[in-house]
Amino acid sequence: MELTETKQVQSDFPGEIHPTAGGGIIVSSFDGLINWARSNSLWPLTFATSCCGIEMMSTASAKYDFSRFGFEVTRATPRQADVIIIAGTIVNKMGPVLKRLYDQMADPKYVIAMGACAISGGPFFYNTYSVVKGADHIIPVDVYIPGCPPRPEALLHALISLQEKIKSGLTREQIREGSNV
């Protein structure tokens, strides 16, 4: 396809068009399609260390029901999971295990830090010798949910935020630099 032709279809074509030679149109519109598909079928790992896990179960139950957003296929093995919701405190002994779980997940993989403990250590920030002060010391985190424990609505909001983040197709670095999501 010639570059001149891409300029002609630009007005009514929904995808992004890059001025690169050959197949630019198809690649970029597939990206959008793939991101859309990925964002709507995220399979979470059943990973809960403490209290936040109970609120995660509440979110899975009939009243809140996160299957409305495509999250109901909770997987017990990291090899089949797309997103890991760190629900609870991570202590020093658990740190290597969390890292290994993350490494075992297939790309693309996403991380949600649920609750104050996973963000910063939370109520266990001071005076303890065994708590990791934030799960992002071990693995990169995409979405943080504050609360101790966060409400199920907060978890739903985080899941929707993650979907939007995936749909935007930006990397963590691009978002950090201030691009619009």
Partner 1 sequence: MYTQTEVIKDTTTAKGAENELVINMGPQHPATHGVLHLVVTLDGETVKKIEPHLGYIHRSIEKMTESLTYRQFTYVTSRMDYLSAHINNLACAMTVEKAMQIEVPERARVIRVLMNELTRIASHELWIGAMAMDLGAFTPFFYAFREREMITEIMEDSCGARLTMNYMVPGGVMHDIHPDFQKKVKAFVQQFKDKVTEYEDLVTNNVIFQSRTKGVGYLSKEDAISYGCSGPVARASGVSCDIRKIYPYEVYDKVEFDEVLDTAGDSFARYIVRIKEMNQSIRIIEQLIDTIPEGDFQAKTKAVLKPPKGEFYTRVETARGELGVYLVSEGGTTPYRIKYRSPGFSNLSALDHMARGGKIGDLMATMGTLDLVIPDIDR
* Ranges assigned E (strand) in the chain: 44-45, 83-87, 110-114, 143-145
| Residue 156 or 166 having the CB closest to partner 1 | 156
120 binds partner 1 (CB under 8 A): no
Exactly one of 89, 119, 120, 159 binds partner 1 (CB under 8 A); that residue is 89
User: How far apart are alpha carbons 78 and 19 in whole angstroms?
Assistant: 39
Exactly one of 47, 66, 71, 110 binds partner 1 (CB under 8 A); that residue is 47
Exactly one of 97, 103, 106, 137 binds partner 1 (CB under 8 A); that residue is 97
Segment near partner 1 (CB under 8 A), from 6-14, 51-59, 154-162, 165-173? Answer: 51-59
91 binds partner 1 (CB under 8 A): yes
Q: Which tokens is 148 given?
A: 């101790």
Beta carbon of residue 127, minimum distance to partner 1 (angstroms, whole number): 4
Which residues lie closer than 8 Å to 82 by C-beta, 6 or more apart?
A: 38, 41, 42, 43, 44, 105, 106, 108, 109, 110
